[in-house]
Every structure is written in structure tokens, then in C-alpha cells.
Structure 1
Amino acid sequence: MSPMRRTGSEPVTARSALRMRFWLSVWGLIWAAAGTVAFAFAGREGWAIACGVLTLIITVDMSMVLRHIHQGPHYQPGPDVPPYDPDRG
């Protein structure tokens, strides 16, 4: 099977957005952690707690993204499976 052969109605250049989501999570984690520290030093407990909660949410999301990346590619139908055309009715 050639690598350019399509097996469904997906775009020819379809790619997973997991790596982009990972790097955006890293960027968000840096800013949320910095915000937590900065607001804690400034004596703004409410904002420090909000940034801390956001840091926790980003960490959980990042761990899920890494889990999906490490799982690798999942089942893709072969050339003998016709493209699925969703019911538009």
C-alpha cells in the first residue's frame, strides 16, 4: 500500500494536534506557575489560588496528552474498507 493512498474521507494531509496541544500546555504551565508564585509574593491569595488551580488543570491535561502520544496510532481501516459517508438526513 502506498503512503499516499486514502482509505476514507479524511484529508490527505491529516495530522494529530496532540504535539501542538502539548507545547501549548507547556507554555500555559509556565505562565500559570509563574502567576501563582508572583501573586503569592504580592499577597494576592485569591489570584494565587486561581493560578494554582489552573496549574493543576494544565498538568492533568498535559499528562493525558502525553498518555495519548505514547499510545501511538490507533486502528485505521485498510484499502478494502470503503469510506464512511455520514448520514446527512
Structure 2
Amino acid sequence: MGTRTGSEPRTARSPLRGRFWLAVWGLVWAVGGTVAFALAGRPGWAAACGVLAVVVTVDLLLVRRHIRQGPHYQPGRDVPPYEPGDRP
């Protein structure tokens, strides 16, 4: 388990951009599956892919919203109010 240094808010990397691009990839496949299954005469599978496309679209909108909001660091009670180098 890693040791907490106190600099995580500045050095941490957000997984939101990765999640965004994975969701885009999933949306492409879900829409493609919806079209392919609809053309193949498989309405059940087309509906399942369509529902998945809707879920992925909602996820994309939420991720985009979170990315646009920017960082929201809120330290907990156990986070000291000083830089790690200021310790005695």
C-alpha cells in the first residue's frame, strides 16, 4: 500500500479522459451492433445494443460534464494543511 505524501491533488491523474475515449469506442460498437442486428432481422439483439448505446451516451455526457467542471479537491480531516516538505 502506498504512502500518502500530501501532494496527490497536484500529481494525481484523472481517469476521466480514458473513460471518455473508452465510452466513445463502446458507443461506436453499440450503434454498429444496433444497425447490424436490425439489418440481419434480429430485433432482440438490436434492442439490446440500442439500450447499451443509450447507457453509453448518458455516461459520455456525465464524463464530459465532470471534465468541464475541472478538479474539485476537497481534503479530508486527515489531510494536513501544509506541504509535505514543511514537516519537522
Q: Which runs of 5+ in 1 are unaligned?
A: 1-5, 83-89
- Give aligned-pair identity as a percent: 65
Shift of 1:11: 8.8
Aligned match of 1:16: 14
Q: What RMSD in Å do the two structures reach over aligned CA positions?
A: 2.6
The CA deviation string for residues 13-55 of structure 1, in whole angstroms up to 9 with x for no partner, is 4210000000000000000000000000000000000000000
Is the 1:32–1:54 Cα contact (8 Å) retained in structure 2?
yes
Aligned match of 2:61: 63
Q: Which runs of 5+ in 2 are unaligned?
A: 83-88
Aligned match of 1:87: none
How many residues are matched? 76
More helix by share: 2
Displaced runs of 4+ in structure 1, greater than 6 A? none
Aligned match of 1:75: 73
